[in-house]
Amino acid sequence: MPLFQRKNQTTLVVVRGAPSVEERQNVSVGEIADSPSIPSGMWEKCANCGSIVYNEDLLRTNKVCPGCGYHFRLSALKRLELTADEGTLNIFNAELRGGDPLGFPGYAEKVEKMRAATGLDEAIVTAEAQIGGYDCVLAAMDSNFMMASMGYAVGEKFVQAAEKALSKRVPLVVFTASGGARMQEGMVSLMQMAKASGAVSELNAAGVPYIVVLTDPTTGGVTASFAMLGDITLAEPGALVGFAGRRVIEQTTKTSLPPGFQSAEFLLEKGFIDAIVPRNELREALIRLLAFHKGVRP
């Protein structure tokens, strides 16, 4: 298969009962939250330039605003579909779930509701795949699922993905997005940070490449663990990436924050990421990077 060339159809090995990618586009956050919202499905409003963008156009641009280039958030399945070679995606651990260690009121119901709304069992999807013909393990987090917060299942699926990359000696490529640790699972969530960072240390020891793509938003306990530990760290333009939330910092320091604070561009300037790559150039960038790790010039 020639590099740098995509076919239009991608075969997804999808979790049982999951809606198709097209159906998923119609699930707006407003619907998930059960709040009154303008009937969606036809269009979305760009959070950056405010223009009304037809979903038909967003599908064509992979959810990049045709007017201003703003990157809308993308579902995990769509992300995997955009990144992997056609027909190579093999999702594993789709049904791995966490528990309810605090017996937190309403948590189990909330998770069930999220499952129904997203068609996913948890906030990260992990898969074996090829990107430009290179074998790798690929993972994407989904902010539609409880803001992709990390509890047991997210931590465990990340670690099992890293372990698979380790045993097969293939690169691990992870698209992060997260509101941080999942509060409802208490300390079990915090411990996932240690577990996930430990898994990265094993990749380091074995010389297995780990590439991170930071997407909007990546914060809290995910930033303070596996999101910031890549050998190579890319980010989508405008992605919010930080440790503490804006409001918390403003309350702590009694100052208001400058515009652009904690953006991908801010992180690049401060020296914490390698490059900002627009969504529709990411696959090509990953293929170029994977070639360097293979060590054979394509």
Judged by beta carbon, residue 80 or residue 173, the one nearer another protein is 173
Binding string, residues 154-183; x marks residues near another protein by CB under 8 A: -xx--x---------------------x-x
Closer residue to another protein in complex, CB, 57/202: 202
Give the interface segment with another protein, choosing from 8-16, 35-43, 125-133, 216-224 (CB under 8 A).
216-224
d(CA 83, CA 87): 12
Q: Which of residues 222-241 bind another protein (CB under 8 A)?
A: 223-229
Residue 206 binds another protein (CB under 8 A): no
Q: Does the protein bind another protein through residue 34 (CB under 8 A)?
A: no
**Residue from 78, 79, 89, 98 that binds another protein (CB under 8 A)?**
98
Q: Which of 47, 102, 166, 268 binds another protein (CB under 8 A)?
A: 102
Decide: is 270 part of the binding site for another protein (CB under 8 A).
yes
Residues that bind another protein (CB under 8 A): 98-99, 101-102, 104, 152, 155-156, 159, 181, 183-195, 197-198, 200-202, 204-205, 220-221, 223-229, 242-245, 248-249, 252-253, 255, 257, 261-262, 270-272
